[in-house]
Amino acid sequence: MGVQLGGLITRRKISLKDLSGKSISIDAYNTLYQFLSIIRGPDGNPLMDKERRVTSHLSGLLYRTANLVGVGILPSYVFDGAPPKLKRIEIMRREEVKQEAVVKYHKALEEGRMEEARMYAQATARLRDYMVSDAQRLLSLMGIPWVQAPSEGEAQAAHMAAKGDVYAAASQDYDSLLFGAPVLVRNIAISGRRKLPRKNAYVEVEPEIVELQDVLRQLSIDRIRLIHLGILVGTDYNTGGIKGVGPKTALKLVTKYSSFQEIRENLKDGGSFPVDPDDLVKLFLEPEVTDGYKLQWTPPDNEGVVAFLCGERDFSEERVRKALDMMGSGLRKANERPTLEKWFG
């Protein structure tokens, strides 16, 4: 879910081509969950091979990555490690939401409410261990680097961007800014035409850029106060935030008071927090990350990808080869740029 800052900050709409020549670290779990949610049949079921193994995430990963590389973007994917202990309550809450969605999905399906069934099905998406392994295997075959984070992938991606090893971190969540990502790219995995739930209407989802320093300047706060603001409205570790405190009220509070303790003293009953706010501040300022990664893009192993996706997962060979051709062309163009030579072997 992430921190809800959208109503406070300005996002700059861009096209994927605006990112040509830039390297982007992508929150893998966040992205794969999007593919698992969106890429489904009319009845809500995900794509599967003849062995009933889910392949929606592989389909999204192949074609979206090929599209990114085809326009000259150099993506890398960052996978979650062990979740922080502070996330335990949130993980339990999400599990309850999924279980409720499963019940609603089957009921809607039985009653023939197919659009509702598909909507509930999206909320039941689960990223199994074999799906993660398959995704990593596909990326390796495609010549796309992936990084195993020790803990939160979003924090690791932000760390890589803050070090200057990549231009930006990509995620749907604004939490990346709290983790210190200097540039956040949103909608990179789901750009395109999307149908609005329960409406016969569509919207164009466009990539957008958010720059941390612009946000801080616009809100007239520093990063610690941005973290305080996030905790008040809710993050991945305290979903929902403080009841009755929306983004605008939260901004007034962090601007008025010099410490989070003062803010708590001026909340009704001190506010209700599932985890210690001081621990959350420390988590965002000092997340568990690693420098033990190597970013190197290589031409895809076309035959290896075809053998995996077509031979083992029942993909269309024609479509897979078309995506690989797009990737190969994009990588050759990127490799010709002198500024990108350090990233290629």
The end-to-end CA distance of the chain, in Å, is 37
Q: State the average pLDDT over residues 234-251.
A: 85
pLDDT, average across residues 74-86: 93
pLDDT at residue number 154: 95
Q: What gap in Å lies between CA 221 and CA 148, rounded to an integer?
A: 33
Mean pLDDT rounded to a whole number for the chain = 87
Give the per-residue pLDDT at 190.
72
**221-286 in CATH: which number?**
1.10.150.20
Rounded mean pLDDT, 320-334 = 86
Cα four-point dihedral sign 328, 330, 334, 336: positive
Transcribe 10-42 into DSSP letters. --EE--GGGGTT-EEEEEHHHHHHHHHHHSB-T
* Mean pLDDT score, 65-89: 91
* Closest to 32 (Cα-Cα) out of 144, 145, 134: 134
Between 83 and 238, residue with greater pLDDT: 83
Which of 34-48, 178-192, 306-320 is predicted most confidently? Answer: 306-320
**pLDDT tens-place string over residues 169-219:** 999 888 999 999 999 999 987 766 665 556 666 667 889 999 999 999 999
Q: What is the per-residue pLDDT for 86?
A: 81
Q: How confident is the model at residue 120 (pLDDT cuts 50, 70, 90)?
A: confident
Longest dimension (CA), the chain: 63
List the chain domain ranges: 1-219, 221-286
Dihedral, 256, 260, 264, 266 alpha carbons, nearest 10: -10
| Distance from C-alpha of 114 to C-alpha of 105, rounded to nearest angstrom | 9
> Does pLDDT of 142 surpass 80?
yes
Residues 179/159, Cβ–Cβ less than 8 Å: yes
Mean pLDDT, to the nearest integer, of 12-25? 93
Q: Compute the distance between CA of residue 56 and CA of residue 189 in angstroms, rounded to an integer.
A: 13
Q: What is the pLDDT of residue 1?
A: 52
For residues 49 and 47, give the distance between their C-alpha atoms in angstroms, rounded to a whole number. Answer: 7
Are the C-beta atoms of 250 and 233 separated by less than 8 Å? Answer: yes
pLDDT over 80 at 5, yes or no: no
pLDDT exceeds cutoff 60 at 56: yes
Q: Give residue 199's pLDDT.
A: 62
Q: 1-219 and 221-286: same fold?
A: no
Type of residue at 63: Y
Query: Between vectors from CA 311 to CA 25 and to CA 314, what angle results, nearest 5°?
Result: 80
Give me the percent of the chain exceeding a pLDDT of 70.
Answer: 91
Long-range contacts of 38-47 (CB under 8 A, 24+ apart): 38/122, 38/190, 40/118, 40/121, 40/122, 42/114, 42/118, 43/109, 43/114, 43/117, 43/118, 43/121, 44/105, 44/109, 44/114, 44/117, 44/118, 44/120, 44/121, 44/122, 45/121, 46/125
Query: How far is it, in rounded angstroms, from Cα 49 to Cα 56?
Result: 10
- The span from the CA of 291 to the CA of 115, in Å, is 45
- Which residue has better confidence, 191 or 36? 36
Lowest mean per-residue pLDDT among 22-36, 258-272, 282-296: 258-272
pLDDT tens figures, 281-308: 999 999 999 999 999 998 899 999 999 9
- Six-digit token pair at 35? 């593919």
| H/E run at residue 79 | strand 74-79
Burial environment of residue 74 by CB neighbours within 10 A (0 to 12, 13 to 18, 19 or more): buried
Determine how many CB atoms are found less than 10 A away from the CB of residue 205. 14
Q: Output the CA angle 6-192-326, nearest 5 degrees.
A: 125
What is the pLDDT at residue 178? 95
CA 39 to chain centre: 16
The CATH number, out of the four listed (3.30.70.270, 2.60.40.1250, 3.30.1300.10, 3.40.50.1010), of the domain defined by the range 1-219: 3.40.50.1010
What token pair was written down for 254? Answer: 């962090």
